[in-house]
Each structure stands twice: as C-alpha cells, then as structure tokens.
Amino acid sequence: MAGKSNHRQPAAHAAAGTDSKSEDLEQFRLRPDGEALRTNQGVKIADNQNSLRAGVRGPSLLEDFIMREKITHFDHERIPERIVHARGSAAHGVFKVYKPQSDYTKAAFLQDPAVETPVYVRFSTVQGPRGSADTVRDVRGFAVKFYTQEGNYDLVGNNMPVFFIQDAIKFPDFVHAVKPEAPNEMPTGGSAHDTFWDFVSLVPESAHMVLWTMSDRAIPRSLRTMEGFGIHTFRFVNAAGKARFVKFHWRPVLGSYSLLWDEAQKLAGKDPDFHRRDLWEAIERGDFPEFELGVQIVEEQDEHSFPFDLLDPTKLIPEETVPVQIIGKMTLNRNPDNFFAETEQVAFHPGHVVPGIDFSNDPLLQGRLFSYTDTQISRLGGPNFHEIPINRPVCPFQNNQRDAMHRQAIHVGQASYEPNSLSGGWPKETDPAASDGGFESYHERIDGEKIRVRSESFADHFSQAALFYRSMSEVEKAHIAAAYQFELGKVTKPEIRERVVNQILANFDAGLAAEVAAGLGLPAPKKGNAPAAAKPETSPALSLLNRAKPGIKTRKIALLAAPGSDVAAIGKLQQALRGEGATPLLVAPTLAAIGSLQPDATIAGMPSIMFDAIVVVGGETGAKALAQSGDARHFVLEAFKHLKAIAALGAGRDVLDAAHLPADADGVATGDDKQLAEVMKAFVAAAQQHRVWSRQALAESVPA
C-alpha cells in the first residue's frame, strides 16, 4: 500500500475490488518529496518568486501563463459550504459486525465478523458556517459512510434520536429560522435569536427536539463520546424477503459526557477547534474512538402497537420498550490526509443503501432521499461527485450514465445504453435472488389517495417531551431550565418568549414552564395541557448521567506546576495516570523548564476548561509561585467551579487555599507526597464520574 505514487493511475481500474479504502485512495495521493515544481500541464517552473514583466519596474504581461494559471486556480479554491452541517470534522475507520445478522438483513457487511468494512465518519454542527466554533449549543451530525463490497451505505444521522419537524416540506422554513438572521447574519452558531424561537413557538411538533437541544446533549464533551442515531425508522430485509423495522444507534465505548454551558461558551473563544482537535489528537495518539452499533427491531405486525407512529421522526422508541441490541463496532483509526479532499468533498446521502436495508414512509426521510443528491450537484459542481476519491465505492460501479462535468472515467466501447448487442449486453442487471443479488425495493403494499394531509397518528407533540424531561436527573433538569432562560433571554420580542412558555413548555411540564417563566420575569404560565404519564413513565436510558462508563481512559488531565515543583512526583503522577489510560499534560505559568521537564503548555494557552480534571503538584517553591500567580489561582478556581476532580499534593494544597477553595470539598483529594498512591486513587474515583455533581451548591457559592 505505502510507497511513492505521484502519478495517477487511470480511474476506472480501482473498481476492481480492493477491500480497503486507504488502498483505493493511494492512487490519488500526491507526495511532494523529491518532486520538481511544475505547472498543471507538467512544465517545470524555474522562478516561482517573480511574475513576468516588461522591464524590472514595468507592468506584468498577459503572457505569463505560469502566474495566470496559479492565480486563476487560487481564485476558485473554494466551493460552496454545506447549507446545513457546514462545520465538520471527520476520520477514517473500520466497522466489524459481532455475529451474522442474516435473520434480520441480507446486507453483506453485516454477516461476517472477520470482515472489516472501511468507513469514513463526519461529525458536524448544524447552524454555524464552516469556520464557526465547535462547542456551540447545537445538534451534532453523525454521518457514516460504509464502503461495503455491495456499494456504499450511508447512515446519515445526528447525536439526538428525534428531529424538529415531521415533514420534509418544512425543512427550508426551519433552516431559515435557525440560521443567522437575514438582515445582519447574526448570531453565528447558535439558536438564541428571534427567528428560531418564533418558528419553534409556532410549530409544536418541534417541542420534543428543542427540549433535547436545550439539554446537555447539545454541548457534548467530545465527538468521541457522543451517541449517534439514525432517527428515522428504516427497514432490514433478509434473504427470504422478510422485513422488519429498525432504528439505528451508535454507542461510544467510553460513555457519553457533556460540557458545562460556561465551559462551552469560553471554549468557543479560547479554542474554537476544541472538538476537532480532540478527535484529531486522540487518533494521532492511538486512542482510537470506538462506537458500537445498536439496533432496535420491530416486527412489521407490531407497527401500530406504540402510542406514537413509527413513521413520525419526532418520536423515539424508548429502550425500555424495545431494547437496543448491539451488533457491531466501529473504530476510527486514521486521520484524513487532506481536509478539503476528504472531509469537505465527502458526499453523504440517506438514499445510499445496499441490499438488505430499505426505507420506511417517514415523510421526513422521503424528502431527504431527494434532497441530498441535489445539494451535492450544486456543492460539488455536477453529478459526477461519486468519482471524487473519498466518495468512490470500493466495489465496481459501472453503468450507462455518461459524461457531465468533471467526468474522470474513460468509458471504453460503443454502447452506452441497455439493452445492447454491441457490447454483449454489458453491463447487465443482476437477479435479486442471486447470492450477490441486485437491489430490490421491499414490496410494500400501498393503497391510498393522493393527498396533502398529516396523519392523525402524528398529532401528539408533547408526550415524549414530557417523558424526556421526567427522565432527567435534577442536575440535567436545572441545566435545561437555564438553557431556555438563556436562549429566550436573548429573544427580543416578549410575545415570542411568552408563546414558548405558555404554548409549548406548559403543555408538557408545568414545573419547567414556571421555572423558565420566573427566569424571564413572566407571570406564572396559564395552565397547559401537560399529558398524563404514559408507560414508560421515565426512560432512564435518556439521562446522560446514566451514560458514563467507569475509568478515565483518554481523559485530559492537567498537572499544574512551576519551576521548583516536585519533579519526582510529576514523574510518578504521569506514570500513574498513563497507567489508567489518561493523558496527563504538564501546565505551567511559562514554558520555562521545571527541573529536567519541559511543560507541555502554559496556563494561558491551555486553561483548565480544556481539561477533564487537574492535579496541583507539590514542592514548596513551585507551589509558592503558583499560589502567588493570579492565573494559577484562576485555573484551580475554574476547575473547582466546573465540578472537576482536583488533587493537590503536599504544598500544592496552598494553591487551593490561596484561591480560597475548601480542600475538604467533594471530589478534592489532598495528601502529602508520601500519600501519592492514596490521593491518586481518590482522584481517579472522582474523575471517572467526569463531574462532581455533589459539589454544585458549594461551587456556586464560591465567587468567580
């Protein structure tokens, strides 16, 4: 696979069945080593510093084909960004099924546990432009392209299991409302503005999803620890033609965690690439993100056995009703070579399915099936985007489609139609009944009037919002109320705020409505029609606090030190934390060496918001310097207020004292240098919860 390959091979050949996307991409990789600088026509360039001019001080000449080629190309370097999901980060990986799924589906990539299917995964925010910050409050896209031997399969989902609207025809309205406002292109990357809340206050079907976006799910700690959902109900079809409904889930092996709102906002300024960097660095370190694929299966005859419609994308199937079966694992193990070529040009489409996977009549999904090809034509400049390296299937893909913008393949032969006799009838259809058969749509009986009507079974907009809210822990409920207050506090029109409180919130939870109203200075809401609790009354699986996993693997831990800190202790701490799979980084006021050690970062460069937990190192001189440094005191204070696990060794406790932090608070482990092992044990136990929620009241009382 490796090796220098500066010259492109003819494109059509790659179709010949390589099973690795990386191998397939190799023919396109251009490596500069040892190469002469040339024009796009291959002419060697002698002077790349000066344009051609008439005399040393004279005007430039039109004849300068070298400069004109270079600048013309530069002038066209950008392509339109995605209309939604413009900001994204992606990685390569592999997927493996745990055991054959032949009972449910004939999809070949879901049969053999020995087969590794290459994948490319792009995570994204929805609202902001390409250069916007990662940590804004928003839904995250979770799009997976499986390069299977039967063609590309795209599972284009989000990190929340429901959506804002029920019918595709409302999507442009919804997106216009959430995007920055038309007159002034504000705000960037957020929904805290009038048009968004105006729209959702008038569209009650959005209530459930808006509640998800006001929850901690909308401010994930990292892309590596987000759950993913296919949202719509799809179908699995097995070799006998039997179909079942299926909902898809992705479960991060490390568990799921979120940021605090204060952290998310600060990170948006101090490191707008926080999520992108985290994903990239984890893969570079060899901490490969892993996600298990889960399915909820519903028999066709049970379609109408739920208190909601399976075709309604604003509803989820509670896991307590239909358990999630884990069927395989995806491991992201390689960063892209080139952001533009791969992440920007990758083209997902929910209509990219393989035999064994089919659609349902969800009216949102049905609209998406049209939309995605259409958008790629405009974004990628024509209908041949499937030939762009990152989009090419790894199996053959011949047909009689011809020509159009940017065609790469050179089709050989006279016939580009079917049936034909001139090319022996090739390429030919494949019988769906054959073992490696052609795609055959599920035979679903449809009898109906042509009609523009929303089914009555889509009419309940509040029961699942109520279920979600009831299923939250007290901490999460408080965050939700604060998020509504924050967002609605930025809405300038009082009638919009009132409508959200009285016509949306009051209809699913009177307590939340009252709390939000109080924060906005509104009168107590009129009595709504909050639905009675149906079964299940709560769904514990919905609470993020139930999604944490033991251990501190891959967590970023700051070792706060200064010249004069205890170097031997730092070594022991690094060893202990690495032993737990964590990533310790030495942070100091400056980059001046600490004994034999070089700090990894300064406090200014990596404030505590970039870490999961912190340790203040002992050693009299170092601790004294830290205690006297306002930045160091702020570092520990912020970690304390953000409910992070803190350890302070020996004189390191003085830094906590200097910041007026109670050393006996929950999740603060202290001890002298000889107690390092015990302190670390307590620290790891606190850190693995990710936040020390029991410290919250105390943390709020500590002045910032």
**Residues engaged in binding ligand HDE (CB under 6 A):** 82-85, 88, 122, 124, 141, 143, 156-158, 163, 168, 171, 231, 313, 347-348, 364, 367-368, 371-372, 375-376
470: left (phi over 0), alpha (psi -120 to 50) or beta: alpha
Q: Closer CB to ligand HDE, residue 354 or residue 364?
A: 364
Kindly state the smallest distance separating residue 81's Cβ from ligand HDE, in Å. Answer: 9
Q: Which residues contact 637 (CB under 8 A, 6 or more apart)?
A: 659, 661, 702, 704
Kindly state the smallest distance separating residue 640's Cβ from ligand HDE, in Å. Answer: 37
Kindly state the smallest distance separating residue 364's Cβ from ligand HDE, in Å. Answer: 5
Residue 206 corresponds to which tokens in the numbers above? Answer: 């959005």
In angstroms, rounded to a whole number, what is the distance separating the alpha carbons of residues 619 and 595?
A: 12
Kindly state the smallest distance separating residue 687's Cβ from ligand HDE, in Å. Answer: 32
In angstroms, rounded to a whole number, what is the distance separating the alpha carbons of residues 3 and 134?
A: 36
In angstroms, rounded to a whole number, what is the distance separating the alpha carbons of residues 688 and 680?
A: 12
Distances in Å between the Cα of 619 and the Cα atoms of 597, 629, 636 are 14, 15, 17
Kindly state the smallest distance separating residue 696's Cβ from ligand HDE, in Å. Answer: 33
Phi/psi of residue 591, nearest 5 degrees? -90, 10
Distances in Å between the Cα of 132 and the Cα atoms of 87, 136, 270, 331 are 7, 9, 13, 27
Q: Closer CB to ligand HDE, residue 84 or residue 686?
A: 84
Taking alpha carbons only, the member of 309, 297, 308 closest to residue 247 is 297
Taking alpha carbons only, the member of 231, 292, 218, 288 closest to residue 260 is 218
In angstroms, rounded to a whole number, what is the distance separating the alpha carbons of residues 531 and 477?
A: 18
Q: Closer CB to ligand HDE, residue 232 or residue 555?
A: 232
Q: Closer CB to ligand HDE, residue 371 or residue 423?
A: 371
* Torsion angle of C-alpha atoms 426, 427, 431, 432, degrees rounded to 10: 180
Kindly state the smallest distance separating residue 333's Cβ from ligand HDE, in Å. Answer: 19
Q: Closer CB to ligand HDE, residue 341 or residue 514?
A: 341
Q: Closer CB to ligand HDE, residue 80 or residue 424?
A: 80
**101-106 contacts: CB < 8 A, separation 24 or more?**
101/236, 101/327, 102/238, 102/239, 103/238, 104/236, 104/238, 104/244, 104/246, 104/295, 104/297, 105/236, 105/237, 105/238, 105/356, 105/357, 106/237, 106/238, 106/239, 106/355, 106/356
Q: 318: helix, coil or strand?
A: coil
Taking alpha carbons only, the member of 83, 169, 163 closest to residue 372 is 83
Compute the 3-state secondary structure of the chain and give helix, strand, coil in percent, each to the nearest 5: 35, 15, 50
Q: Closer CB to ligand HDE, residue 156 or residue 491?
A: 156
Kindly state the smallest distance separating residue 211's Cβ from ligand HDE, in Å. Answer: 16
Q: 281: helix, coil or strand?
A: helix
Provide the β-strand partners of residue 220.
258
Q: Closer CB to ligand HDE, residue 190 or residue 313?
A: 313
Q: 625: helix, coil or strand?
A: helix
Kindly state the smallest distance separating residue 130's Cβ from ligand HDE, in Å. Answer: 12
Find the residue with minimal CB distance to ligand HDE.
141
Q: Closer CB to ligand HDE, residue 118 or residue 622?
A: 118
Active-site residues: which are they?
A: 85, 158
Entry field: residues in the chain: 704
Kindly state the smallest distance separating residue 312's Cβ from ligand HDE, in Å. Answer: 12
Binding residues: 82, 122, 171, 368, 372, 379
Binding residues for heme: 82, 122, 171, 368, 372, 379
The DSSP call for residue 113 is: T
* Torsion angle of C-alpha atoms 571, 576, 577, 579, degrees rounded to 10: 120
In angstroms, rounded to a whole number, what is the distance separating the alpha carbons of residues 617 and 639?
A: 15
